[in-house]
Structure 1
Amino acid sequence: MWTIGLGFVAVLVIYFTYWLNKWSNPRCNGVLPPGSMGLPLIGETLQLIVPSYSLDLHPFIKKRAQRYGPIFRTSVAGRPIVISVDPEFNHYIVKQEGKLVELWYMDSFSSLFSMEGESRTTALGVIHKYVRSIILDHFGTEPLKEKLLPQIEVFVSKTLETWSTQSSVEVKHAASIMVFDFSTKSIMFSYDAEKSPMKLSEKLINVAGGFMSFPLNIPGFAYHKSLKDQKEALTMLRKIVKEKMNSPGKHEDMLDQAINNMNKEKFLSEDFLIRWVFGISFATFEAISTALSLALKLIADNPAVLQELTAERKAILKARKNRNSILTWEEYKSMTFTLQVINEVFRIANVSPGLLPKALKDVKFKGYTIPSGWTIMIANSVLQLNSNTYKDPLAFNPWRWKDLDPSVLSKNFMPFGGGIRQCAGAEYTKTFMAIFVHVLVTKYRWTRLKGGNIARSPLLGFTDGLHIRITKKSS
């Protein structure tokens, strides 16, 4: 019996050693980038989601880049990942979209359709072209100039009026609701935030809350709640999509337009539209609300910035015939310093830890091979905090944008992605933020009550929110 028992233990040890070795040294038709795959199954997930309390790079990336070099491998939630802080490699990868790599969201959409006679890469290219085009139809420069600009100002004014009646406002949460409620009017008019029994914005905010939590689907964990709220949000969106499909109308909003295009575009199905609306609704509010929260903190902490923003507002109002008229496109484009502030906020904020393309084929670069199926994280945050490009990179200095070389910025400032994947909503995001800052600085004062301490995990946030009180300026 002892012999049998020892033999069984020996077999287990051999099997475990083999499995551990296989996990630590993944198969590759070449040389993998250096790094560690961490613990079996969970990889280095715990190290990634441990918060740091600085605007600097998250230690997970910074320490490994110093140890292994600018391209290294790891594993997060069981998924093998190569993280790159190499500007040359990052620039190369964004140009390979649809050739060597595809973005995760396209990967998830690709399972929803079949396009006979077309390769997967070609099909994904067709989807991306259509999605980008329809977003620009409703959130691009032309709709901003023609209708959205004044609508945003009116909506922001009403929102800030409401905030000024409250004793305290938690900026990130309140801004998320504001941006979501406005944006969904262009995405789907049939959703009325005030009349809906379930607040779709609250569900999506909760989904965002579990985005960088440990992926443990057990009651009581943030990830479990995130999945539950995601399911409820998708159920609500399914109902909205079905109602619109049963009563097609004119191109009133983005969802209407997509439904009316279903006969022309093979990939447009009910499931595709539900996931697409979910994704764009989420993306619309998350980046803007995070950047707005940081902007309020940084502006309040830097009186010289607030002073110049105020001077820019006064110049705009002074040049008007009617001081109370609505903001024009020309006035918006003249807000040079405001746009510098917004660029500086996005440079420091690094709202997203990076682009996440997936390798469609083995990717070879500088002697390394990234296997097909692996995820690549392009860590733009490293580029935007590089002291060789930005002097004193952790300092909030909007004036630096007067002298930065555009050719250098093209490879070192990518808050909205790069290549053919540059975010179609970039101009909308900047415009919304500029108008918010314009109305806030013109008509209100704000003071921080509590919170505002930075936490990166690696997404940017605050340890206990950012609570402020807003008061109207005397006219």
Structure 2
Amino acid sequence: MVVLAMVIGLAVSLLVTCGAVLRWNEVRYRKKGLPPGTMGWPVFGETTEFLKQGPSFMKNQRLRYGSLFKSHILGCPTVVCMDPELNRFILMNEGKGFVPGYPQSMLDILGRSNIAAVRGDMHKTMRSAMLGIVSPPVIRDQLLPKIDEFMRSYIDNWGGRVIDIQEKTKEMALMSALKQIASIETGPVSEALKAEIFRLVLGTLSLPINVPGTNYHQGFKARKRLVYILRQLIEERRVSGCYHDDMLDSLLKIDDSSRGKLDDEQIIDLIIALVYSGYETVSTTSMMAVKYLHDHPGVLVELRNEHLEIRKGKSREDAIDWSDYKSMRFTRAVILETLRMATVVNGVLRKTTQDVAMKGFTIPKGWRIYVYTREINYDPLMYPQPLSFNPWRWLGKNMDSHQHFMLFGGGARMCPGKELGTVEIATFLHYFVTRYRCANSLIFCLE
């Protein structure tokens, strides 16, 4: 009985302590004018619920508090905005109290010169350098041939095997990016980079607590190793003087007098950002497109017809060119509908540079605003029968403007790499639907 009483007493004390700590954290952030919501635990906030529950967490909080509520996620006090009109205002008004507000974990791991985080003159410099290596003429003349060659060789070993499409599209997106950026082929260097990039991705969305065993710690270590490998690669390029015709060559050969001249740290951060953004968007969109094609045979037939038409007059080894890519209207519609249904981009983060009034509330200076756009994708006023996979809804529309927003988040700072990502996904789908057929259990059989 004594032991039982002690256990009960300990449990009660623990509950009281937890309740007091939670209450203290709520009082700490109680300020007149703040939106309603909960702040969770000190330091940790509601990060665990946010990462584990995802959309369910957002939906539950919205039901309780409305479309504007406060929380504490990824180490920052944050206001979540799920109001479409407010979201458009925030995204289109950088410089009027809003700047990029990526969490500390992402800033530390992707680098301080990450194009998504910098602003002002530095953003112009980084954007200029990126535009120089992913502009439509560069994609047309230099990158598309590399992407085509890579996709053909990568997909060719899928015949007659059971494929884990999630793992394969992750590897595909990463290896394609490494080839374009630094002419890195499959081998020891690519395997080393792949392992570090996988760890880096996990660390970017985590609490910035540098303790062994945490995703942040692993991601930060992965960044250090990536920086070391990329530094060696840059040094080897300078010593050898060999021409590689890739993005790294272009970045290293920018003249000192050019506005787009970057130092080595900035080049490394730009490369890491390119790999990171391409890996996430290209791999997820490619995987989900295969899933939707498997589930919707009519869409698959239409898509295959478009690509079989492109292959007319070509041999099996003939590459597709820019005019072939530009003719892929239905393919682009499939990509957009996949992005909408799969919500590859849930939203973007902004940070307030001053106290900001929103719908009768005041968001304090230095707080993050999570511009949560996921639910717009299922708005029946914008998309009739929003839960139906219907690529035909995009035909006849300006697909470019939608693609900017849905693939990379949108707003005033459109991502210069969006066309490149679309080209990669479209090229993958071209060879997938012309060389393989979907069967049950996602077994791909060579035709």
Report the TM-score, using the length of structure 2 for normalisation.
0.82
Letter in 2 for 1:295: A
Task: Return closer, same or farther for 1:405/1:334 CA change in 2, 3 Å cut-off.
Answer: closer
What is the match of residue 46 of structure 2? 44
Distance 2:80 2:399 in 1: 26
State how 1:434-473 maps to structure 2 within 5 Å: 434-447=426-439, 449=441, 468-473=442-447
The one-character-per-residue Cα deviations of 1:297-355 (angstroms, maximum 9, x if unpaired) are: 1111111111111222233334x476764223222222221111100001112223311
What is the match of residue 281 of structure 2? 287
The offset of 1:270, in angstroms, is 3.3
- Measured on the aligned residues, the alpha-carbon RMSD in Å equals 3.7
Letter in 2 for 1:43: G
The offset of 1:248, in angstroms, is 7.0
The offset of 1:156, in angstroms, is 0.5
Q: Residue 129 of structure 2 contacts residue 261 of structure 2 at CA under 8 Å; is this kept in 1?
A: no
What is the match of residue 331 of structure 1? 324
Letter in 2 for 1:102: V
SS across alignment from 1:286: helix
Q: Residue 241 of structure 1 contacts residue 274 of structure 1 at CA under 8 Å; is this kept in 2?
A: no
The correspondence for 1:62, drawn from 51, 59, 63, is 59
Q: Residue 75 of structure 2 contacts residue 207 of structure 2 at CA under 8 Å; is this kept in 1?
A: no
Q: Residue 80 of structure 1 contacts residue 375 of structure 1 at CA under 8 Å; is this kept in 2?
A: yes
Task: Return closer, same or farther for 1:124/1:246 CA change in 2, 3 Å cut-off.
Answer: farther
Task: Return closer, same or farther for 1:112/1:196 CA change in 2, 3 Å cut-off.
Answer: closer
What is the match of residue 410 of structure 2? 418
Task: Return closer, same or farther for 1:321/1:346 CA change in 2, 3 Å cut-off.
Answer: closer
- How many residues are matched? 426
SS across alignment from 1:419: coil
What is the match of residue 3 of structure 1? none
The one-character-per-residue Cα deviations of 1:73-118 (angstroms, maximum 9, x if unpaired) are: 10014311111111111111112224422224699499969xxxxx
The correspondence for 1:386, drawn from 364, 368, 379, is 379
SS across alignment from 2:443: strand
Q: Residue 176 of structure 1 contacts residue 285 of structure 1 at CA under 8 Å; is this kept in 2?
A: yes
Could you tell me which runs of 5 or more consecutive residues in structure 2 were left unpaired when the two chains were aligned.
Answer: 1-16
Distance 2:142 2:204 in 1: 34
Kindly indicate whether residue 89 of structure 2 is the aligned counterpart of residue 92 of structure 1.
Answer: yes
The correspondence for 1:31, drawn from 24, 33, 43, is 33
Could you tell me which runs of 5 or more consecutive residues in structure 1 were left unpaired when the two chains were aligned.
Answer: 1-14, 53-57, 114-122, 450-467
Task: Return closer, same or farther for 1:19/1:59 CA change in 2, 3 Å cut-off.
Answer: closer
What is the match of residue 71 of structure 2? 74
What is the match of residue 7 of structure 2? none
Distance 2:64 2:404 in 1: 22
Letter in 1 for 2:65: Y
SS across alignment from 1:204: helix
Distance 2:318 2:157 in 1: 21
Task: Return closer, same or farther for 1:413/1:179 CA change in 2, 3 Å cut-off.
Answer: closer
Kindly indicate whether residue 119 of structure 2 is the aligned counterpart of residue 124 of structure 1.
Answer: yes
Letter in 1 for 2:56: P
Distance 2:271 2:404 in 1: 31
The offset of 1:243, in angstroms, is 4.1
Q: Residue 133 of structure 2 contacts residue 250 of structure 2 at CA under 8 Å; is this kept in 1?
A: no
Letter in 2 for 1:282: Y
What is the match of residue 311 of structure 1? 305
The offset of 1:245, in angstroms, is 5.8
Task: Return closer, same or farther for 1:403/1:25 CA change in 2, 3 Å cut-off.
Answer: farther
State how 1:148-167 maps to structure 2 within 5 Å: 148-164=143-159, 167=161
State how 1:317-356 maps to structure 2 within 5 Å: 317-318=311-312, 320=313, 325-356=318-349
The offset of 1:416, in angstroms, is 2.0
The correspondence for 1:278, drawn from 272, 279, 304, is 272
Q: Residue 329 of structure 2 contacts residue 395 of structure 2 at CA under 8 Å; is this kept in 1?
A: no
Q: Residue 102 of structure 2 contacts residue 350 of structure 2 at CA under 8 Å; is this kept in 1?
A: no
Q: Residue 333 of structure 2 contacts residue 391 of structure 2 at CA under 8 Å; is this kept in 1?
A: yes
